[in-house]
Amino acid sequence: MDIQEFIENFAAQFDETDEALFTADTNFKQLDEWSSLTALSIIAMVDDEYNVIIKGSDIINSETISDLYDVVEKKRS
Amino acid sequence: MSQLTINNVRIVGMSACVPATVEDNLTLPIYKDENDARKVIASTGIERHHKVDENTTASDLTVAAFERLLQDLGWDSQEVDCFAYVCTSRDYIAPQTACVLQDRLNLRNDCCVFDLPFGCSGWVYGMSIVSSLMSHGTFKRAILVAAETNTRNRNPRDTAVRPLFGDAATVTALEFSTENSRPMNFMFGVDGKGYDAVWAPYGGIRNPVTPEALEEKEVSPGVFRRGIDMIVNGMDVFGFAIKQPPHSLKELIGTFNIDVETVDLLLLHQANKFIDEKIRKAVGIPAEKTPYCLEEYGNVTSASIPLTMVTRCGEKLSGNELHCIACGFGVGLAWASMEFYAGGVKISDLVTY
């Protein structure tokens, strides 16, 4: 897995947020555009791209994009 | 794998009843503006749903749909040998609602009646159970109800569920017939680890109703619930729903050597458009063979597959025999898929209560 690619896939689920705001350390739930619907898009993206189903608690317990990346990587191994 | 093949039973009629009151998502008071509402409508595909008043139960809707179908079929209620009631919003804690309905519907005292407290997988499970009982050959006519008043067991101030769920009752009439009946095939699945993905924690024996369970609390911003209300953990249900139903349908297709090209109808539990489209694409069925009624009625849990058949496929199902596959999935977590053929089915006009 590649964190840069993960960040790009993550950013692609947003319509209005500036791409530059997405880094490994982004507190994604603090973004104005973040909503429960975005969360569903992220779950679908992770399923499509990484063939892993993350749970609601995985998103709730992750602060940054990097935290979520770690969850996905752990589930894949 | 738990698989099942049932012979000599066919669907002969279907009807549905929805409450007259319509709640439009665009104007729900839970959104800060219409733009907010539009986003939810765009991603779920659900524009509105029908909602019962506080004096109406799922069994009331059932009576209306049942009477209409029997009239259209020319059946006498005394001819019904078996009556199954799929519903989780039961009239009373005890007895089973099916017992009360025996009297209301004028069914025989020796009729075999029972409740099946399934959620979204309920119509498919119900079809397997009732058809299986009928396949012995002594029950000639049976009724399968799938009904729910989702707006009454969920909190209207729970923004996570109010735009999604609606109320409806459906009635499916089945007949034993050794002629012109093709086999029905079923696959089942369950994952009890996900029991709290969709659940009502209070009101059973584990957590009885206490004064505290009746207090409304703001569990997250804008989401109010009481302990007795149904909780839908959207993210976990979503993760389950985009994975397990496609797997189940592929299992069905593989196990029973179904040629997907010959499938005329893919009938999905109407969860939301986003989920259902992912399932449809994963199974490889064209859009024109996958009817939806969720835009108008929302997610009506166990009633959603038969409501889709009644409101969207009436003409098709009354004509030549169609090759159908269906998948119900949800609370449990439980799911079931089936293959069946249907044609010449009497479909009643939608009844409004």
Q: What's the pLDDT score for residue B282?
A: 92
Does residue B159 have a pLDDT over 90? no
> B31 contacts in A (CB within 8 Å)?
none
Number of H helices and E strands in chain A, helices first, is 4, 0
- What does the pLDDT read at residue B330? 97
Interface residue A30 vs chain B (CB under 8 A): no
Confidence of residue B171 (pLDDT cuts 50, 70, 90): very high
Residues B232-260 have pLDDT tens digits of: 998 999 999 999 999 999 999 999 999 99
* Domain residue ranges of chain B, discontinuous segments joined by +: 1-353
Mean pLDDT of all residues in B124-141:
98
| Helices marked H in chain B | 34-44, 58-73, 97-104, 122-134, 234-255, 273-283, 294-297, 304-312, 314-318
Q: How confident is the model at residue B222 (pLDDT cuts 50, 70, 90)?
A: confident
User: What is the Cβ-side half-sphere exposure of residue B1, based on CA atoms within 13 angstroms?
Assistant: 17
pLDDT digits 0-9 by tens, B4-17: 999 999 999 999 99
A72–chain B Cβ distance below 8 A for any pair: no
pTM of the full structure: 0.93
Compute the half-sphere exposure of residue B82: CA atoms within 13 Å on the CB side of its CA.
24
- Phi, psi at residue A30, to the nearest 5°? -90, -10
Q: What is the pLDDT of residue B139?
A: 98
The set of residues, in sequence order, having a beta carbon less than 8 Å from that of A20 and lying 6+ positions away, is none
Q: Which of A29, A52, A55 to mutate to test the interface with B (most CBs of B within 10 A)?
A: A55
Residue with tokens 């889709």: B308
Can you read off the two tokens belonging to residue B73? Answer: 């079929």
Task: Check: CB of residue B150 under 8 Å from CB of residue B299.
Answer: yes
Tokens of B349: 């006009």
Residue B143: band (very low, low, confident or very high) from pLDDT cuts 50, 70, 90: very high
Question: CB of A61 within 8 Å of any CB in chain B?
Answer: no
Q: Which residues of B touch A (CB under 8 A)?
A: 39-40, 43, 160, 233-236, 238-240, 242-243, 274, 278
DSSP state, residue B214: G
- Residue B180, pLDDT above cutoff 90: no
**B78, pLDDT greater than 80:** yes
For residue B333, whether the previous peptide bond is cis, meaning omega lies within 30 degrees of 0, is: yes
CATH number of the domain located at residue range(s) B1-353 in this protein: 3.40.47.10
- Do residues A40 and B238 lie in contact, with contact meaning Cβ atoms separated by under 8 Å? yes
CATH of range A3-15+22-76; options 3.40.50.300, 1.10.1200.10, 3.30.70.360, 3.30.1490.20: 1.10.1200.10
Question: B12 φ, ψ to 5°?
Answer: -110, -20
Each residue of A28-77: pLDDT tens digit?
999 999 988 889 889 999 998 999 999 999 999 999 999 999 999 999 98
A contacts of B43 (beta carbons < 8 Å): 37, 40
Query: What mean pLDDT is predicted for residues B116-139?
Result: 98
- Looking at residue B89, its pLDDT comes to 94
Q: Which residue of A has its CA nearest to B235?
A: A56
ipTM of this predicted structure: 0.81
Judged against a pLDDT cut of 90, whether residue B187 lies above it is answered with yes
Distance from CA of B39 to the nearest CA of A (A): 9
- Identity of the residue numbered B295: E
Contact B336, B186 (CB under 8 A): yes
Q: Is A33 on the interface with B (CB under 8 A)?
A: no
Judged by a CB distance cut-off of 8 A, whether residue A59 touches chain B is yes
- Write the DSSP assignment of A17-38 as a string of letters: S-GGG--TT-BGGGSTT--HHH
pLDDT value at residue B294: 98
The DSSP output letter for B158 is B
B66 confidence band (pLDDT: 50, 70, 90): very high
Asked if residues B163 and B44 have their Cβ atoms less than 8 Å apart, the reply is yes
Mean pLDDT rounded to a whole number for chain B:
96
* Rounded average pLDDT over B121-129: 98
What is the structure's pLDDT at B295?
A: 97
Q: What pLDDT, on the 0 to 100 scale, is given for residue B36?
A: 85
